[in-house]
Structure 1
Amino acid sequence: MSSPSPSPSPSSVPNSPNSSVGDTEGAVPNSPNSSVGDTEGAVPNSPNSSVGDTEGAVPNSPNSSVGDTEGAVPNSPNSSVGDTEGAVPNSPNSSVGDTEGAVPNSPNSSVGDTEGAVPNPPNSSVGDAGGSVADLAFPVDDARRVVTGALDEDLGGTEGVDVTTMATIPASQQTRAAVVAREDGVVAGVEVIALTLAEVAERLGAEPVSVTSVIADGTRVARGDVVAELSGSTQVTLIAERTLLNIISRLSGIATHTRRWADVLDGSGAMVLDTRKTTPGLRALEKFAVRAGGGTNKRMGLHDVAMIKDNHKLAAGSLAAAYAAVREAFPEVPVQVEVTTTEEALESVTAGARFLLCDNMSTDLLRSTVEAVRATGESVELEATGGLTLDVAADYAATGVDYLSVGGLTHSSPILDLALDLRP
């Protein structure tokens, strides 16, 4: 079995925009979801916090002054979004250009079955035997689509205007502003800030607003921490304000909730998975937020992984029949089978299933099912699902399952309170 295990939480992250300068032994490079310090909302090494236990931290922290950025190193946390030729696509503060499909800091090879799976990649997708697909790219195309639709909704169409801002703010007026955290949490979707401002500027025919990202996706923040600095048109900034805050607050709320689960499961050998219970139209972004929070994507939709559930079993006559039908029709597609008893689990393994969803089982039943499946000698991954909460997460992880799937990561996470404040 090759299920990846969670990264250890105490290590700080090299190249993390909120780490401090210190020793870097054992740090995980470019890991946006390694846990820093204590769990529930603790934010060591945030840009505005004092420096405490910072072993493994790295230079280029956002505590350096953020002003003129000529000559700034692309992909550093204080480079502005403007003339950033050569910057790494999809870095938290790189300019938003032709970055579709770019995958920074990630192996470009596709990982199929278990061999070569990336250990705990922050956005891996779980297949039928624990295979992972490493793809660290922010979903830029999906984000642009969401931003465009949200602005159309807010402005009353592509030709619509913000009647208040256009009436009260001269087109020539410039401002400085900051996106600020109003509470502790984990940030996700930082690139949405620049995307939204760029779209509004294009609609107005205005100069782009400069965006300096201070916090990277997956970073813990404390109340008062600055996520991004803005400089440019006041009109553009105010028109974009609510749209960019709605999206990044939603994504950051998901990342924050996911991080709580990842922290509870840290060291248990189990990982937290999301589900398809996402907001229509926002799936790619919400699943990105799960990855930023330290979780793992289960499947992106109905097309990439087959999941045999109770209704499929009833329609096909049995779990074995349903599994055989899927294998015949789509031999290359990973298959997951939902089971509710130990007998169903063993039936599925005998049929060839190598990934089982153990639905709504008690911890005692789940433990005995795991033991029975392991006793077959087959390499099978097991997932606990159904009404799981943080209070029982450790108990379910202790049964020996590989994963806990939690629909609430995407359907019930409260937003992270963020604000956009104009500066004098």
Structure 2
Amino acid sequence: MLDRTTIEGWLREDLGHHDVTNDVPGETTGRLVAKETGVAAGIDAAEAVFSYLDVEVTERVDEGTELDAGDVALRVEGSAQDVLRAERTAVNIAGHASGIATKTAAAVEAAQTAGLGFDLDAGAAGDTPAIAGTRKTTPGLRGVEKRAIVAGGGDTHRLDLSHMVMVKDNHVAEMGMESAIEHFEEKASFATKIEVEVESPEDAPRAAEAGADIVLLDNMEPAAVERAVELVDESDADALLEASGGITVETVPDYATTGVDVLSLGSLTHSASSLDFSFRTG
């Protein structure tokens, strides 16, 4: 959950040193209203902003709730001054997070309906890849953005560098693939997975056989990803396969049919449009 220092920083940034705009007497109510369809996220954070200023949240939707235009995501009551002071920060956070959740949900649906035997009406899931985020997040907002991915039905991927060792091209250039994997196996805890980035299908089984828990198929076209999956299946190695690099919601179906286990999209966080909310009082 958010700590008070983070919320205080958000509010200080917006209120400045002498807020006259919101010097409004009396008590009021307010509601956060969706102006378009989407998936709710960041509602926990919005609630925390209001609560910090002792504004009571009287009603709210759960993270991951599907919203239609006109739906109320959150209701509050309290002093008019504090409701208005919290308004913009709460709306910005909820809009940003809900945009990420909405985009993630679209990617998840695209993967599920890519001809892999998934019937949304029947609810029968086929063998579809997970949709995951990346570390391409906004500094200071990673927690909010990662939770938004989960609200949209996606996977957070690693939350920070301590969650998994990523052996990238620069590591391989410096140490060689097998030596790099061996080096990090010695450094990492037994509980820490090692992922190895490869740039050609032929290197995928090589990485898996050298001890990679996960092989990242980086910047490959769908045909190359499919070939990498075939090569790893033909080997004696056992590793998860992740495709990443330039994948968009529109191209998810092309990758979802390759047999890969995970599709990670940086665009879920760095290119999601905010969901449009308005905040109305009285």
TM-score of the superposed pair, with normalisation by structure 2: 0.91
**2:94 match:** 248
Q: Deviations over 1:22-60 (max 9, x none)?
A: xxxxxxxxxxxxxxxxxxxxxxxxxxxxxxxxxxxxxxx
**Corresponding position of 2:13:** 153
Offset, 1:372: 0.8
Write out per-residue CA displacement over residues 61-120 of structure 1, whole angstroms, 9 at most, x where no aligned residue: xxxxxxxxxxxxxxxxxxxxxxxxxxxxxxxxxxxxxxxxxxxxxxxxxxxxxxxxxxxx
List aligned pairs for 1:196-345, cutoff 5 A: 196-200=49-53, 208-266=54-112, 267=118, 268-316=127-175, 318-332=176-190, 333-345=192-204
Q: Is residue 2 of structure 2 the alignment partner of residue 140 of structure 1?
A: yes
SS in 2 for 1:227: strand
Does residue 346 of structure 1 match 2:205? yes
Do the aligned residues in 2 keep the contact of 1:252 with 1:415 (CA within 8 Å)?
yes
SS in 1 for 2:74: strand
Pick from 229, 252, 255: which aligns with 1:370? Answer: 229
Q: Distance in 1 between matches of 2:159 and 2:5?
A: 17
Q: Confirm whether residue 357 of structure 1 aligns to residue 216 of structure 2.
A: yes
Give deviations 1:331-350, integer Å, cap 9, x for gaps. Answer: 42210000111221122122
Highest RCO, 1 vs 2 (Cα 8 Å, sep ≥ 6): 2
| Residues paired across the two proteins, number | 268
Residue 181 of structure 1 aligns with an amino acid whose one-letter code is: A
- Alignment partner of 1:419: what SS? strand
Residues 1:177 and 2:37 aligned together: no
CA distance in 2, matches of 1:190, 1:369: 40
CA displacement at 1:359 relative to structure 2: 0.7
Q: Secondary structure at the match of 2:64?
A: coil
For residues 136 and 15 of structure 2, the distance between their equivalents in structure 1, rounded to whole angstroms, comes to 29
| 1:308–1:335 contact (8 Å) kept in structure 2 | yes
The C-alpha deviation readout for 1:288-339, integer Å capped at 9, x for no partner, is 10001110011011112000110111111x1111101000111422100001
- Structure 1 or 2: larger strand share? 2
CA contact (8 A) 2:205 2:237 kept: no
Larger helix proportion, structure 1 or 2? Answer: 2
Task: Note the 1:378-397 alignment, pairs <5 A.
Answer: 378-397=237-256
C-alpha distance in 1, partners of 2:227/2:22?
Answer: 63
2:180 counterpart letter in structure 1: A
Name 2:22's counterpart in structure 1.
Answer: 165
- 1:352 alignment partner, SS class: coil
> Partner of 2:124 in structure 1?
none
- Letter of the aligned partner of 1:184 in structure 2? T
The unaligned stretches of length 5 or more in structure 2 are 113-117, 119-126
Amino acid at match of 1:190: I
- Contact 1:190 1:213 survives alignment (8 Å): no
Distance 1:301 1:194 in 2: 25
Q: d(CA) in 1 for partners of 2:278 and 2:6?
A: 20
Q: Percent identity, aligned pairs only?
A: 40
Distance (whole Å) between structure 2 residues aligned to residue 161 and residue 245 of structure 1: 21
Checking the alignment, whether the CA contact within 8 Å between 1:185 and 1:256 is kept in structure 2 is yes
Secondary structure of 2:21's match?
helix
What per-residue deviation string (whole Å, max 9, x for no partner) do you get for residues 136-190 of structure 1? xxx233xx4432111111122xxx3421222xx22xx011211100111001121
Residues 33, 278 of structure 2: 8 Å contact kept: yes
What TM-score do you get using the length of structure 1 for normalisation? 0.61
| 1:194 equivalenced with 2:47 (yes/no) | yes
Question: Does structure 2 retain, via aligned residues, the 8 Å contact 1:319–1:344?
Answer: no
Residue in structure 1 matching 2:259, options 393, 400, 409: 400
Gaps of 5+ in 1: 1-138, 201-207
Matched-pair contact (CA < 8 Å) for 2:193–2:213: no
| Map of 1:120 onto structure 2 | none
Q: 1:398 to 1:145 in 2, by over 3 A?
A: farther
RMSD between aligned residues: 1.4
Residue 149 of structure 2 aligns to a residue in which SS?
helix
Report the alpha carbon displacement of residue 407 of structure 1 after superposing the two structures with TM.
Answer: 0.2
